A and B are shown apart, each in its own frame.
Chain A
Amino acid sequence: MNILVLSDIDPKEITSILEQHGCTITTAPLQSPPSVDPGSKIIIVDSHENTPPSSINPDEQSVLFIDTSYVEHPLNCYAFSMQWIADLLPIALFLFEQDEKKEGDQEIEKLFRDYRRTLFTKLQFIIDYFNQAVNAPTKELLELLKHHVHKTAGSAGTYGYPKVSQICKTLEGELIAFIERFDESDQKPYPQEKKEEYLKQIFAACIETEEKSPPPSQDAPNQTQSNQTPPSAEPPKEQEGIDLFLVDDDQELLALIGAEAKKRGITFEGESSFAKAKERITNPSFTTKLALFDIHSPNEQITGFELIDAFLQSRKESLTTTIAILSERAELPERAQANNLGIDLYFEKPIDIGFLFEQVQNQLKDRGEKKARILIVDDDTEYSSMALQSLEKSGFTCTSILSGDQLLQTIQEFKPELLLLDINLPNQNGIELLRALRTDFRYRKIQVIMVTASNNIEDVKKCYAAGAREFLSKPIDFLQLPSQIQNFLRKDESLQHAYARDPDFGLYTQGALEGFFTSFLFRYNSFCILFFYIVKPDGSKLQYDRDLYGKLAQKLKHFFNTGDVIGIYEDTFTLLLLDYTLDQALVMIESLHEFLRNDAETILGENGVITVAAHTPQDGNSMEEIFSKSNQLYTEKNEKPVWSIYSTLENVPLQRDNIIFSVVLISSDSQILTILSNAFEFRNITVQSYETGVEGYNYLLKHFFHDRNSAIILDGDFEKENGYVLLQKIKTVVGEKTPLYFLSFLSKEEDLTEGLNLGATRIFSKPIQLQVLLDTLEKDVRRR
């Protein structure tokens, strides 16, 4: 074996051991190494700067790194201290040979090398502590030795050295017994013979395992895997992109997160330059499951938000990445901007790495689990078989049918969550089919993506108006299809009402309106839901006509506020008048009657008549009643013009300086309750105070939608309840704009960040400053 020894001093100690093993040795000074022969083994001795010369590449050559005083491996190579040469150099040489012998799959070879190196490092600790235990034992030292033996036993098992693991376990047992017997005053040393015996056994087991293991080959990598390594040490999978990508100018943070990611088995890449990162992420071939961007960098010309924007622009149609941001500030405008960009996660510096990876793993897990059932309806068998293959490969459960005749029957049997529906089916129109499907209340939750070969914009508009959520035009990139669908399913939950609109008239689709009813509407203090049909002069109901409805919508747009929602629900014009009280709505309806009557002929043509009638139930003020009534209305097919008004107006809060609001206080601390109640009372603000979280939450659940102009102050320090859990629950009840203040006696950054992440508007750490809290609250309410 050719060995090159680089050293500034005379390496006699090493060369004598090497000569015993029959090696050919060449020596050279450390700072001026000769041109390295790729076949040579290299040993570096006594490196002052802890770094081998740059001409050596430890990934290609075997490098042994020796230093006088401490162990550290700046490169991925074998490394140990000078004092262990006699013990470790023989085994290091043996492992060298193994490194050289293994020629096959590069990845597997590298994996083996890594295992050996890690195990080798761990063995050094054992030898070191053994030596000390033999010479001058203390109880602390023996504990450390036991700890390292325990750790080595675990790792050896993991790395495919079961025999070494077994010996270490035996040794650990013996050490435990020895420690129990150990007397501090006596300080009886650990027997030298036993030490040597165990070390010999361990080295022999190492060598035995190495010799037994068949050289990895490209043909049978899995076989090698099953013989040698447990499941945790699987060879790297086929390249599917990385799990986590981080852009941050702070290189140390990158290293820190990189190390943690490696430990948790998450593939990670980092980029410190924003410009380079931009270049990289805008490249279509770049894929990552989670991208984490730092927002502020003093040295960069672009901000993290611009970077995210560029990323989103480049992946408009196929975004499968969860985007998270990392920021040093927890200011509201920044969070608002993040929300606008659709960012999924928000982390704040200083970052809790455990929390970060918990979130990352949750995201990756969620992504893996959300695999929907998809039904493909297309007469083109070639297309449907390719789509089936592509989607099934990605884990979706799919089936396909050729025509719309079997559609309802297949839906009942297969129960799909998503429908890929072709527009041009034999003897049928996909849009008509979709419309028919939407009329059935049972199927309204099925999401529909329309597929067509035509690029006719009218078709696209009709699809959206009929209730489709997405539109795909052929030819379809089957490689991207699974990710497109995955992305669509993910975004659909939160943003369905944002894109399910008629592109011309801004009419919301049925799905969007459902979204409003279930998730959005209850946040308003008072609102009216209006449904009405247009009746022809002959008394029959007008069928859906996009142009006509569009004209009407445009008329109504001038009439209503921009915040009001106009949409089509089962061919019925639906209006959601937000922020209208009952009286206001009645006045509005009267004037609308006039408005429409005057314009009836221009909208409907000659002799066109629009009749209106109002129905105002006296009761129906609870949320359950409203939903049950609106559901009734959906299911009943009223052929008469119907105006239904539901109002939730109950209490008019007191007025002060044009600010109308009331406060809900939840705290178990009676002093805080008294102080805050008095302070608000003096300011003429109504207060509801509750001493337990359950009471407060129940009140909010029942009454909160009556009091949109409310603020909530939650003191998180309960004896029997978890403040964070309560905060999370309350956030689901109240609206986005409602100030929700969280009081906590914890003042650490991570606690405050957690509160903000759970949805609190502001966090006040106790003891609070009353005047600051009151002023901030007033400002927040004014701003709203």
Chain B
Amino acid sequence: MEKLVYIEYLFILVISLGVAIAGGIFELRTAFIDKRRKRLNTIVAKLFSEKILEVDQFFPKKYRTLRTLLPALEEIDRKVAAPYWTFFKETVLHRIIEKEIDLYLTSINWEKTVLGLKALELAPLPLYQEKVLSLLADPVDIVRFHAIKASIAFTTYRSTKSLITTMETMPAVLQFPYRDALSKAPYSVHQFVLQIYRKTESTSEKIECLKILGIKAGLLSEAEITEALQSSNRYLCWWGILAVSNNPYKPCIDLVIENLSSGMWQLKAVAAYTIGVLHYAAATDYLIPLIEAEQFWLRFTGATALRFLGEHGMSILEAAKQSKSDLAKNIVTYMLTLPESEFQKGMRSFFPMNLDTVLLHEEVNPNVS
């Protein structure tokens, strides 16, 4: 028994020693890497500040790899923003690790591919545009994600067009990163999207463009939105109505009001939403029937829009408390008891910004109230 206890203690001692040694080694390694990183950062900073362009002479061989150099460039990129810096980092990438980028992009190791893409995000060398675009539909998520970022960094018509075309071919659940990156892209990329929207004859591509353009103001002209609103395609029409909420041209609003009496409840809901966020009081009366609708989203957007429309809308809501319909009573009570602070957050955070989500929601919960 005693011997067993002794062995147990010995075992614990050995384990502890092992952990301590491993920890020590890890600490030393971290310190070494940290020191090396700092040193490299100092070299980059120094070359940049002294405006030395013959960078390839100053980097030791051991630092001339993408894996070591990229973090240093990224770190300084977070701190420095100057036209010369853009030029400098492009020079570093071009002179030292250009060959490596080429190899990395075509590597079967996705980790290396991501490194190559990250380098191009930092300084997009036009030579590699096609390679990056070919990675847009890569099966590995993280590669695809960085390929999207790098494509945006190129800011060319070609890269924008590829992004939209690839997004269109992807399943709906995977489209978000593309759309998100495009909607956060600089102004010039939006201009390319607009060009694609005007040129394309494919309706699905038009819809994808409209999804990006419609949530911004001042890009689409009155005629373009009118065209979308009058389209027979219900998706295009839906996104067109949403575009009016950000681009309130008066003739377009009249078309939106027409949609309030449309046969499709989805179009009615988005039209009510648009009227609400625009505070378009002239359309108040058209909203009254909506609070008695069978569909939840229609009732909800109708009631919210009425509350947005000020005193007249509120009086209509008050009157609806006496309605015979229980559905109307419920939604009106909810809307009137909603605190102002909650309401001010806006129904934009509540309202699904995608027709697919509305349809999906309705399919999953057909009798939601």
Cα–Cα distance between A69 and B60 once the two chains are bound (Å): 8
Chain A residues within an 8 Å CB radius of B80 = 256, 350-353
Q: Considering only CB atoms, which chain A residue lies closest to B60 in the complex?
A: A70
Asked if B187 is an interface residue, CB under 8 A from chain A, the answer is yes
Chain B residues within an 8 Å CB radius of A50 = 60
Cross-interface CB contact of A679 among B48, B82, B219, B278, cutoff 8 Å: B278
Chain B residues within an 8 Å CB radius of A36 = none
Task: Return 30 A-B CB contacts under 8 Å, by A number.
Answer: A70-B60, A71-B58, A72-B43, A72-B60, A255-B42, A256-B45, A259-B50, A260-B49, A349-B79, A350-B77, A350-B80, A351-B81, A353-B80, A671-B218, A671-B247, A674-B249, A675-B249, A678-B248, A678-B249, A679-B278, A682-B248, A682-B281, A745-B187, A765-B186, A767-B187, A767-B217, A769-B216, A770-B217, A771-B246, A771-B277
Cross-interface CB contact of A252 among B79, B188, B219, B346, cutoff 8 Å: B79
Chain A residues within an 8 Å CB radius of B219 = 767
Asked if B190 is an interface residue, CB under 8 A from chain A, the answer is yes
Cross-interface CB contact of A747 among B49, B187, B247, B279, cutoff 8 Å: B187
Tell me if B79 and A675 are in contact (CB < 8 A): no
Tell me if A671 and B278 are in contact (CB < 8 A): no
20 extra interchain contacts, Cβ-Cβ under 8 A, other than A253-B79, A656-B310, A676-B217?
A69-B61, A252-B45, A255-B45, A256-B45, A256-B79, A256-B80, A259-B45, A263-B49, A350-B78, A352-B81, A352-B82, A353-B80, A672-B217, A672-B218, A675-B218, A682-B248, A750-B81, A765-B187, A767-B219, A775-B346
Cross-interface CB contact of B310 among A252, A657, A675, A768, cutoff 8 Å: A657
Tell me if B60 and A669 are in contact (CB < 8 A): no
B-facing residues in A728-778 (Cβ within 8 Å):
745-750, 765-771, 773, 775
Asked if B26 is an interface residue, CB under 8 A from chain A, the answer is no
Chain B residues within an 8 Å CB radius of A669 = 218
Asked if B336 is an interface residue, CB under 8 A from chain A, the answer is no
Asked if B301 is an interface residue, CB under 8 A from chain A, the answer is no
Kindly name the residue among A50, A250, A674, A765 whose own CB sees the greatest number of chain B CB atoms within 10 A. Answer: A674
Tell me if A747 and B186 are in contact (CB < 8 A): yes
Asked if B280 is an interface residue, CB under 8 A from chain A, the answer is yes
Cross-interface CB contact of A263 among B50, B58, B218, cutoff 8 Å: B50
Asked if A354 is an interface residue, CB under 8 A from chain B, the answer is yes
Cross-interface CB contact of A767 among B50, B218, B222, B281, cutoff 8 Å: B218
Cα–Cα distance between A672 and B218 once the two chains are bound (Å): 5
Residues of A with Cβ closer than 8 Å to B? 50, 69-72, 125, 144, 250-253, 255-256, 259-260, 263, 349-355, 656-657, 669, 671-672, 674-676, 678-679, 682-684, 745-750, 765-771, 773, 775
Cα–Cα distance between A267 and B68 once the two chains are bound (Å): 33
Cα–Cα distance between A251 and B54 once the two chains are bound (Å): 25
Cα–Cα distance between A682 and B245 once the two chains are bound (Å): 12
Q: Smallest Cβ distance from A126 to chain B, in angstroms?
A: 13
Cα–Cα distance between A59 and B217 once the two chains are bound (Å): 63
Query: Which interface class (under 10, 10 to 19, 20 to 34, 35 or more) fits B?
Result: 35 or more
Q: Chain B, 326-364, contact with A by CB distance < 8 Å: what is the 0/1 string?
A: 000000000000000000001010000000000000000
Chain A residues within an 8 Å CB radius of B213 = 767
Known: A256-B45, A682-B278, A767-B190. A675 touches B217 (CB 8 A): yes
Residues of B with Cβ closer than 8 Å to A? 38, 41-43, 45-46, 48-50, 54, 57-61, 75-82, 84, 186-188, 190, 213, 215-219, 221-222, 245-250, 277-281, 310, 346, 348
Cross-interface CB contact of B346 among A352, A354, A771, cutoff 8 Å: A771
Q: Smallest Cβ distance from B187 to chain A, in angstroms?
A: 4
Tell me if A256 and B48 are in contact (CB < 8 A): yes
Chain B residues within an 8 Å CB radius of A349 = 78-79
Tell me if B218 and A768 are in contact (CB < 8 A): yes
Cα–Cα distance between A72 and B77 once the two chains are bound (Å): 24
Chain B residues within an 8 Å CB radius of A69 = 60-61
Chain B residues within an 8 Å CB radius of A252 = 38, 41-42, 45, 75-76, 79
Tell me if A259 and B217 are in contact (CB < 8 A): no
Chain A residues within an 8 Å CB radius of B250 = 678
Q: Smallest Cβ distance from B306 to chain A, in angstroms?
A: 15
Cα–Cα distance between A144 and B213 once the two chains are bound (Å): 48
Cα–Cα distance between A11 and B41 once the two chains are bound (Å): 32
Chain B residues within an 8 Å CB radius of A671 = 218, 221, 247
Tell me if A682 and B280 are in contact (CB < 8 A): yes
Q: Smallest Cβ distance from B363 to chain A, in angstroms?
A: 28
Cα–Cα distance between A252 and B268 once the two chains are bound (Å): 58
Chain A residues within an 8 Å CB radius of B82 = 352-355, 750
Cα–Cα distance between A407 and B175 once the two chains are bound (Å): 82
Chain B residues within an 8 Å CB radius of A768 = 216-218
Q: Considering only CB atoms, which chain A residue lies closest to B248 in the complex?
A: A678
Cα–Cα distance between A350 and B278 once the two chains are bound (Å): 37
Cα–Cα distance between A773 and B217 once the two chains are bound (Å): 10
Chain B residues within an 8 Å CB radius of A748 = 81
- Please name the 6 residue pairs, one residue from A and one from B, whose CB atoms are nearest each other, closest first: A767-B216, A259-B49, A745-B187, A770-B217, A350-B81, A678-B248
Tell me if A256 and B49 are in contact (CB < 8 A): yes
Cα–Cα distance between A260 and B247 once the two chains are bound (Å): 47
Chain A residues within an 8 Å CB radius of B280 = 682
Q: Considering only CB atoms, which chain A residue lies closest to B246 in the complex?
A: A770
Cross-interface CB contact of B79 among A70, A351, A355, A746, cutoff 8 Å: A351
Tell me if B187 and A771 are in contact (CB < 8 A): no
Cα–Cα distance between A662 and B281 once the two chains are bound (Å): 19
Q: Considering only CB atoms, which chain B residue lies closest to A352 in the complex?
A: B82
Chain B residues within an 8 Å CB radius of A657 = 310
Q: Smallest Cβ distance from B72 to chain A, in angstroms?
A: 9
Q: Smallest Cβ distance from A749 to chain B, in angstroms?
A: 5
Q: Considering only CB atoms, which chain B residue lies closest to A667 in the complex?
A: B218
Tell me if B348 and A771 are in contact (CB < 8 A): yes
Tell me if B215 and A769 are in contact (CB < 8 A): yes
Cα–Cα distance between A657 and B58 once the two chains are bound (Å): 65
Cα–Cα distance between A750 and B77 once the two chains are bound (Å): 12
Chain A residues within an 8 Å CB radius of B41 = 252
Chain B residues within an 8 Å CB radius of A674 = 222, 249
Tell me if A71 and B218 are in contact (CB < 8 A): no
Known: A252-B38, A657-B310, A767-B187. A70 touches B58 (CB 8 A): yes
Kindly name the residue among B43, B45, B247, B281 whose own CB sees the greatest number of chain A CB atoms within 10 A. Answer: B45
Q: Considering only CB atoms, which chain B residue lies closest to A679 in the complex?
A: B248
Cα–Cα distance between A672 and B187 once the two chains are bound (Å): 14
Cα–Cα distance between A251 and B34 once the two chains are bound (Å): 13
Cα–Cα distance between A115 and B42 once the two chains are bound (Å): 23
Cα–Cα distance between A671 and B278 once the two chains are bound (Å): 17
Tell me if B247 and A255 are in contact (CB < 8 A): no
Q: Smallest Cβ distance from B271 to chain A, in angstroms?
A: 15
Tell me if B42 and A682 are in contact (CB < 8 A): no
Q: Smallest Cβ distance from B357 to chain A, in angstroms?
A: 19
Tell me if B48 and A251 are in contact (CB < 8 A): no
Cα–Cα distance between A460 and B329 once the two chains are bound (Å): 73
Q: Smallest Cβ distance from B247 to chain A, in angstroms?
A: 5
Tell me if B38 and A251 are in contact (CB < 8 A): yes
Cα–Cα distance between A50 and B57 once the two chains are bound (Å): 15
Q: Smallest Cβ distance from B92 to chain A, in angstroms?
A: 15
Q: Smallest Cβ distance from A54 to chain B, in angstroms?
A: 14
Chain A residues within an 8 Å CB radius of B215 = 769
Chain A residues within an 8 Å CB radius of B277 = 771
Kindly name the residue among A350, A674, A682 whose own CB sees the greatest number of chain B CB atoms within 10 A. Answer: A682
Q: Considering only CB atoms, which chain A residue lies closest to B194 in the complex?
A: A767
Q: Smallest Cβ distance from A46 to chain B, in angstroms?
A: 14
Cα–Cα distance between A684 and B279 once the two chains are bound (Å): 9
Q: Considering only CB atoms, which chain B residue lies closest to A765 in the complex?
A: B187
Chain B residues within an 8 Å CB radius of A259 = 45-46, 49-50
Q: Smallest Cβ distance from B202 to chain A, in angstroms?
A: 23
Chain B residues within an 8 Å CB radius of A676 = 217
Cα–Cα distance between A579 and B4 once the two chains are bound (Å): 89
Q: Smallest Cβ distance from A746 to chain B, in angstroms?
A: 8
Chain A residues within an 8 Å CB radius of B79 = 250, 252-253, 256, 349-351
Tell me if A682 and B58 are in contact (CB < 8 A): no
Cα–Cα distance between A749 and B247 once the two chains are bound (Å): 27
Q: Considering only CB atoms, which chain B residue lies closest to A144 in the complex?
A: B54
